[in-house]
Structure 1
Amino acid sequence: MKITSATTNPLAGSFAPVIVYPLWHVGHQNEAGDDGSTLHVDASGVFCDESDGDDLKLLGIYSTLERVEERVRQARSLPGFRDEPDCFHFDARELDEDDWTEGFVRVPPGGPGTCTELALGPKNRMNGKNGRLGPMDSGLAALLGAAVGSATTLGAAIVNGRAQARSQHAQWSRQHRRDAYAGYLGALHDRDIAMDAVLDALRSEHPDLPDIDEKIGRFITLAREVHRACEVVILEGPAPLVEVAERVTNASADLSHVMRRMAENAHAGNTARKAEDIALAAEHERSLYLAVKDFRLAARSTIGKSN
């Protein structure tokens, strides 16, 4: 197809990267568990092995994390999706950025017997009537034909291939979790700097109210970024790390409550509780620091780093 100016992407050539978020759901039917049971989520995240029966669905590609979160909430009320509510996965993708940069080889489904049949069976030979090949091309048929009589070797290759696929999946999942955790910690860092600026201004004997209001505005903006980043952590999991993130959220809320009261009292000229609130804010700052520290350690453990 010849591309004309009418079909040209107007964003092409833009210096700013365009980020989108593909959202997937995995319907599980694999037998990847140690006892042949179905594996839904492992230490690396949502498990998927399409060669073992898992069904991967693309729900959509979204422009913001908020739309991803809303789509997940909607899908969790629908048949099928509601049965596996924790099996959603999404990641950030940059438009016009190459993702698969290498070639590929075909691996036939099934066990050794099935592979031999596919390689040599009549369904895959040249059809004399129409001269077309079946599902496998002649080169691959010849390649598998050379393996006839080596069922044990072929079976081992399939097992090793599955193990390699699981290893690649684990590495892929760890990378996405690492990005999610780093994004959350970075958002916390920026927000907490803004929060410290507000508290420092409120501790002043003669607070500058317009300056305080400006600093509070910046804090609110960055707090929203923390909320968005935390939603990504919740979706990526795992559950124990999400629990630590909830402790960070609760500690943040406690400190924000004291800060808001101090700001309201500053505007009202009420200093009756100022000393008490300054001490309480310091206590909550310490609790928040420890919660963030625990999250950082838990994140390192989850993605396999040594502490």
Structure 2
Amino acid sequence: MDQGIAALWAAGLGIAGAISSGVLSFRAGRRQVQDQASAEHAHWLRQQRQEAYIAFLSVCDAHQRKIEETWERADREAAALGSLGNTDEDVHAWLGMLPFLFESAERQAMDRVEMLGPPAAAEAAWKLDEALGDAFQDLRARVEWLVHQSGAARVEAVSGPHWLRSQVRMTDMRAALVECARDILSTPKST
């Protein structure tokens, strides 16, 4: 009888060991799957952020180029013709749809940056967007001055140094966003 009890104990301990081993294996496997899913999500998020930052920068670059091209063209034509006109309609003809040309694409790209985060990237993107808005206002003041040729139309906004400050600010804000994006994308685990 002692051998029978010993056999039952041995079998019971073997079953308990097998169950314990199975539970531990299950937990380890589950943890590994969770870690893998977390790593894949972090990778996916980094890719999505990179695409969002690139899309936003591309739209902003195109917007900045258009502002600068319009500024230069207005200066050339005003120098050649002596004036760009004399009415508010002439101002509108020069600026036309420029304020709205990039609005939809810029808004959509900004939305992606805000959604994918983190807040530091959205803040840097907003600062770049604000710099572009300020540069457009400088362009508007320049065109109004060239059209009306009056010294009262924000002379400080149409001078070369002021325009240069706008260009430097746009460049600086773009560089700040790129640096922020680089920091975010280079961290092993995106938050």
Tell me if TM exceeds 0.5: yes
- 1:153 aligns to what? 25
**What residue number does 1:178 align with?**
50
Choose the corresponding residue for 1:167, options 39, 54, 68: 39
Residue ranges of structure 2 left out of the alignment (5+ in a row):
1-17
Question: Measured at CA, do residues 283 and 216 of structure 1 come closer, stay the same or move farther in structure 2, by a change above 3 Å?
Answer: farther
**1:207 and 1:169, CA in 2 relative to 1: closer, same or farther beyond 3 A?**
farther
**1:291 is aligned to 2:173:** yes
Helix, strand or coil at the partner of 2:97 = helix
Classify the secondary structure of the residue corresponding to 1:150. Answer: helix
Provide the residue aligned with 1:260 in structure 2. 140
Higher-RCO chain (CA-CA 8 Å, sequence separation at least 6): 2
Could you say what secondary structure the match of 2:110 adopts?
A: helix
TM-score normalised per structure 2: 0.72
| Residues 152 and 291 of structure 1: CA distance in aligned 2, closer, same or farther (over 3 Å) | same
Aligned residue number for residue 162 of structure 2: 280
Q: TM-score, normalised by structure 1?
A: 0.46
Structure 1 residue runs without a partner (length 5+): 1-146
3-state SS, counterpart of residue 303 of structure 1: helix
The 5 A counterparts of 1:41-120 are none
Structure with more of its chain in helix, by fraction: 2
User: Do the aligned residues in 2 keep the contact of 1:198 with 1:216 (CA within 8 Å)?
Assistant: no
How many aligned residue pairs are there? 160
Structure of greater Rg? 2
Report which stretch shifted further, 194-203 or 147-156.
147-156
Is contact 2:141-2:157 (8 Å) kept? no
Q: Alpha-carbon deviation of 1:221?
A: 0.6
For residue 212 of structure 1, report the CA deviation from its aligned partner.
8.4
Higher strand share: 1
Deviation of 1:303 (Å): 1.6
CA distance 1:233–1:290, change in 2 (3 Å): same
Distance 1:241 1:251 in 2: 15
| Match for residue 190 of structure 1 among 62, 68, 73 | 62
